Structure 1
Amino acid sequence: MKNFMMGVMMFLTCTTTSMAQGFKEPEYIGQVSLVQSANSQVILEKEEAEMKTKTSGFGYIPIPGSSLLDKGKTFLRVKGESSPNKVAKGKVQFVVRVKDHNEDPKTTIGVFQFEAKKKERRFMLAEVGVLSGLKATTSFNTVAYEVEKFGESSFLVTISDAAPGEYGVTTTDFGHISTFSVK
């Protein structure tokens, strides 16, 4: 009887705690919901992204060896000056729905800050130069975050001190990125 009562108490505690949180997992894999308060959340709008490569143009000069000076940069680019999703600076939390909890969240969830331009936001994925020994430098300036399991197949991601700027969150699809602006 004592074990039964202890089990009932634990069940009620867990149920009350999950109800007190007030937010839940997003419905579909890859969706990201922003936690606005203890009982409010909103699904972040996904924006279409494309990969764009820019070169320095030295390869077009008809002088032997000029192509050795050529340098290329590959960017992940989203149109528009800022995200439609706005957040106050400081602590930012969101729930990311994934396939399951068996994968390392630090490898399946990418959180990064865009470089904001007039008509686009972009994130440099790689830079390649021939004179540097054909060395490709990949710069994933990911934002530091804490993560914990949430629900059946989601993770609760917390950025403890988000600075003002444009951010992107992705799981597996780099063609559609959940974005938000910190003001």
Structure 2
Amino acid sequence: MIRILLAEDQHLVRGALSALLGLEPDLTIVAEAADGAAAVAAARTHRPDVALLDIEMPVLTGIEATEQLRVAVPETRVLILTTFGRPGYLRRAMDAGARGFVVKDSPPNELAAAIRRVAAGDVVLDPALAVASLGAGPSPLTERERDVLAAGAGGASVAQIADRLALSGGTVRNYLSSAIGKTGARNRTEAARIARDNGWL
């Protein structure tokens, strides 16, 4: 029996996935979580074979949770399941230690097969997304440039970003300017949108 941790912040989606996977004779859901931090805590307690994580969750994203699971519960293999089929997400998820990446519009039998393959030690990637990821190349942004763009994405001022990230205003402006240049954007709002659309944030 393959023991699964299911982490998805949308209650209806989580319930539907749990019901679908529960129909498989060799799969069992041992824990569910509505955010990334709860997923890490549940994995520590239940030691699942596979953690099925959504990318966009509160507290910790699926990618951040994957990084923590790699250290806290290394025997648990992570399969990312997301609506957001962005090449940058795939690359970041794999760099964080995920063993698979599939999009939510995959048929249920393909999801079950992906879980079995990840549990067996294989790497499973959505083929179209893998090709797009190779074509897109790595993110041009540094970690700090991503942090600054993400902190300012809601319209925060330079002073607010600086305060949030414990940086000087001048340093924040430099990071924003660099990120704008690297994304080919006209301003930081457009730079954040481009970065988000590519899965770099």
Normalising to structure 1: TM-score of the pair? Answer: 0.24
Which structure: greater helix fraction?
2
Larger radius of gyration: 1
Using the size of structure 2 for normalisation, the TM-score is 0.22
Relative contact order (alpha carbons < 8 A, sep ≥ 6): 1 or 2 greater?
1
